Structure 1
Amino acid sequence: MYLNENEKKLISQEIKNLEKKSSVELVAVITKNSSIYKFEKILVSLAITTIVSIIALFFDINTIIFFQLQIVVFTLIYSLFYNFEDLILYFIPKKYKHQKASYKANKEFENLGIKNTKTKQGIMFFVSIDERYVEIITDKHIREKIDNKYWEDIINKFIKDVKNNELSKGYLKAINSCSKTLINKFPIEKNDINELSNEVREI
């Protein structure tokens, strides 16, 4: 659990307050990580084993010991990655991690049915904690009136809060930052129906 119950209630209430005045459907999604990085763990383990093997070539060791060394190094490194899952993230480029997180965000936007609302005014605030990644995905009608560049400043501030382990604070600030704009551009419609849950989704 990434948020305590009180923090979840505060975020859900903030979403509810927004949706009382706006026809948008806002969903808050949090995940610890966006991938188990199984392939990457193997690849990095092999790379480190190769480096150690090259160094070992400068020493006078026989072939059997050389192969034993390779097996031991690979097993040790992979075991570390297996038992300490966050460790692999230090060996993966930031851009690659963010690509993984963005892919997961877009999959969740689809899986949660956010793009299937009748008004096409769905919006998702997605946070991947381990990747220190935040993405705001909007549906068709929101994109028509609010350019993606609008969200950049909100995302940048949100990421700082995630890095400082202030996830709840980041969510509340992000929702507050865009509430006025969303209310002005998408005021509550007559006979508005809440199609998506206001509860924080932890996946």
Structure 2
Amino acid sequence: MYLNINEKEQIQEEIKTLETKSSAELVAVITKYSSSYRFETLVFSLLISVFISIILLFADIDTIKFFQIQVLSFFALFFLTSGFKKILLTFLPKKYKYEKASINAKKEFYNLGIKDTKTKLGIMFYVSIEEKYVEIITDTGIKSKISDNYWQDIVNEFIKDVKNNQFSIGYKKAIKECSETLIKSFPIQENDKNELSNEVIEL
């Protein structure tokens, strides 16, 4: 669990309050990692193993022992970085990690059915903890009145809270920040139906 029960309830209450005044459908999604990073783990382990092998070329060891050290170092590094992805992430460029997180965010937008609402007013607040990444994805109905640029300032503030591991605070601030705009642009309709769950989704 990335959020405790109390934190989840507070976020859900913020979403519920907003959706009693607006037809927008907001979904909060949080995940620890946006990728398995298996390929990156393999490449990283190979590169370090090659580096170790180059060093060993200057050591006075026989061929069999040289090969054994190569194999052992590769598998040790592979299993270590597989079990502790944080180690790997420290070596990956921020841009690369953000691209991976963004791809996963868009995938989840479809997988969770946020794209399938009748009103096309779905919004996803996506947080990837270890990549320190936040993205707000909106459906076409939202985009028709609120440009993607509007959300960037909210995202920038949200990321600060994520970096400080204050996830629930980030969600609540972001929801409150956009509430007035959403209520004004998409006021609640008489026949409004809540198509998406208000519960925080942990992946």
For the aligned pair, the TM-score class normalised by the smaller chain equals over 0.9
Q: Which residue of 2 aligns with 1:66?
A: 66
Q: Which residue of 2 aligns with 1:128?
A: 128
What displacement does 1:8 show? Answer: 0.5
What displacement does 1:169 show? Answer: 0.3
Q: Which has the larger displacement, 46-55 or 62-71?
A: 62-71
Q: Which residue of 1 aligns with 2:42?
A: 42
Letter in 2 for 1:74: F
Could you tell me how far apart the structure 2 residues matched to 1:82 and 1:106 are? 25
Could you tell me how far apart the structure 2 residues matched to 1:31 and 1:77 are? 25
Q: Which residue of 1 aligns with 2:202?
A: 202
Q: For 1:21-44, what per-residue CA distance to the aligned partner results, in whole angstroms no more than 9, with x for missing partners?
A: 101000000111111111111110
Letter in 1 for 2:49: T
Q: Which has the larger displacement, 96-105 or 56-65?
A: 56-65
Q: Which residue of 1 aligns with 2:148?
A: 148
Q: Is 1:18 matched up with 2:13?
A: no
Would you say how many aligned residue pairs link Structure 1 and Structure 2? 203
Q: Which residue of 1 aligns with 2:2?
A: 2
Letter in 1 for 2:17: N
Q: Detail structure 1 runs of 4+ shifted over 6 Å in the superposition.
A: none
What displacement does 1:114 show? Answer: 0.8
Q: Normalising by structure 2, what TM-score? A: 0.96
Letter in 2 for 1:141: G
Q: Which has the larger displacement, 98-107 or 169-178?
A: 98-107
Could you tell me how far apart the structure 2 residues matched to 1:110 and 1:160 are? 27
Which residues of structure 2 form unaligned runs of 5+? none
Q: For 1:64-95, what per-residue CA distance to the aligned partner results, in whole angstroms no more than 9, with x for missing partners?
A: 22211211211221121133232221122211
Which residues of structure 1 form unaligned runs of 5+? none
What do you get for the CA RMSD once the two structures are aligned? Answer: 1.1
Could you tell me how far apart the structure 1 residues matched to 2:112 and 2:71 are? 44
Q: For 1:158-187, what per-residue CA distance to the aligned partner results, in whole angstroms no more than 9, with x for missing partners?
A: 011011010000000000010001111111
What displacement does 1:58 show? Answer: 2.2
Q: What does residue range 117-196 of structure 1 map to in structure 2 within 5 Å?
A: 117-196=117-196
What displacement does 1:153 show? Answer: 0.8
The sequence identity of aligned pairs, in percent, is 62
Could you tell me how far apart the structure 2 residues matched to 1:21 and 1:56 are? 68
What displacement does 1:188 show? Answer: 0.8
What displacement does 1:156 show? Answer: 0.8
Q: Which has the larger displacement, 25-34 or 76-85?
A: 76-85
Q: Normalising by structure 1, what TM-score? A: 0.96
Could you tell me how far apart the structure 2 residues matched to 1:38 and 1:197 are? 32
SS of alignment partner, residue 27 of structure 2: strand
Could you tell me how far apart the structure 2 residues matched to 1:191 and 1:146 are? 23
Q: Which residue of 1 aligns with 2:91?
A: 91
Letter in 1 for 2:35: S
Letter in 2 for 1:114: I
